[in-house]
C-alpha cells in the first residue's frame, strides 16, 4: 500500500477499561523510553517487562483509578491516571490526583499532553471533584510549563522528593481549583 492509501490516524486520548496485549506492549515500550530519557514516575531503570505488565493490568482493574492513554499513529505512546480517593477518605473526598503522566520522547511536541491534561480535568470536574492535584520533580521543565500554563497553582516544595539515581531532587506540589470559573 503506498502512502496515499494509508488511513489517517488522528491522535486520541482514550480511557482504558481494559488493555489489549498489543496496547500493553506499546505502553511498556513507551514507559521504557521515558525511563531511559530520565523520568519514569519512580522507576530508575526500565522495569522487567512482566512486572510492568502486571502493574498496568492491576491499574485497569482498580475502581479508584482511571487510566488514560495517548494513541499516536495507532500506537499507545503515553499515559496518565486520575486517582480518586478511597471510600474511607470522606474528609478528602473532594480531591483527585494525577499520576503516571508521560508521553514517550518519540511522540512529544504534538499536543498530546495538553489533550491528556484537559481530559483529566474534565473527568474530575464531571465527577464533582473540587480540586485536582499533581506533583512533579523540579527538573521536569516541560511538565512544569504545561502544568503552570494549565491553571495549576504551586502550593508547596518538598526537599528530597525523589532520588534520581545520583542525587536527591526537590518536588513541586500543584493544585487546580475546579470550581473556579474561567473568565473569558
Ligand atoms: C511533560 C510532557 C508530558 C509533555 O508532553 P508533550 O506531548 O510533548 O506536550 P505537548 O506537546 O502537549 O505540549 C504541552 C505544553 O508542555 C510544555 N512543553 C512541552 N515540551 C516542552 C519543552 N521541551 N520545554 C518547555 N515546555 C514544554 C509547553 O507548555 C507546551 O505547550 P506549548 O506547546 O503551547 O508551549 C513530556 O515532556 C513528558 O512526558 N515528560 C517526562 C515525564 C513528565 O515530566 N511527566 C509529568 C509528570 S506530572
Give nearest CA residue, ligand 1 atom 31.
Answer: 146
CATH H superfamily, domain 7-177:
Gcn5-related N-acetyltransferase (GNAT) (3.40.630.30)
For the CA of 134, the nearest atom of ligand 1: 48
What is the per-residue pLDDT across 72-129, written as a single tens digit (0 to 9) for each?
Answer: 999 999 999 999 999 999 999 999 999 999 999 999 999 999 999 999 999 999 999 9
* Atom of ligand 1 minimally distant from the CA of 38: 41
Domain boundaries, the chain: 7-177
pLDDT at 71: 96
pTM (predicted TM-score): 0.93
110: CA distance to ligand 1 center in Å?
A: 9
Sheet of 12-15, strand order: 12-15, 65-72, 75-83, 95-103, 131-137, 168-177, 153-163
- Place 4 in a pLDDT band, splitting at 50, 70 and 90: low
Query: Using CA positions, which residue lies closest to atom 10 of ligand 1?
Result: 111
Strand, helix or coil for residue 64: coil
Contact at 8 Å (CB) between 116 and 15?
no
Ligand 1 centroid – CA 103 distance (Å): 8
Residue 162 C-alpha cell reads as: 525523589
Amino acid at each position: 500500500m503506498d502512502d496515499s492509501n494509508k488511513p489517517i490516524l488522528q491522535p486520541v486520548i482514550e480511557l482504558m477499561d481494559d488493555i489489549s496485549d498489543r496496547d500493553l506492549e506499546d505502553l511498556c515500550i513507551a514507559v521504557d523510553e521515558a525511563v531511559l530519557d530520565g523520568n519514569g514516575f519512580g522507576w530508575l531503570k526500565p522495569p522487567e517487562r512482566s512486572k510492568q505488565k502486571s502493574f498496568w493490568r492491576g491499574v485497569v482493574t482498580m475502581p479508584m483509578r482511571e487510566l488514560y492513554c495517548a494513541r499516536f499513529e495507532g500506537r499507545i505512546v503515553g499515559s496518565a491516571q486520575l486517582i480518586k480517593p478511597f471510600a474511607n477518605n470522606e474528609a478528602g473526598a473532594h480531591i483527585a490526583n494525577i499520576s503516571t503522566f508521560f508521553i514517550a520522547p518519540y511522540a512529544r511536541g504534538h499536543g498530546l499532553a495538553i489533550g491528556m491534561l484537559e481530559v483529566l480535568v474534565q473527568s474530575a470536574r464531571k465527577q464533582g471533584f473540587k480540586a485536582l492535584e499533581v506533583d512533579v520533580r523540579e527538573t521536569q521543565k516541560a511538565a512544569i510549563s504545561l502544568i503552570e500554563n494549565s491553571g495549576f497553582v504551586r502550593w508547596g516544595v518538598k526537599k528530597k522528593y525523589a532520588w534520581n539515581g545520583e542525587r536527591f531532587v526537590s518536588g513541586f506540589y500543584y493544585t487546580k481549583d475546579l470550581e473556579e470559573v474561567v473568565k473569558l
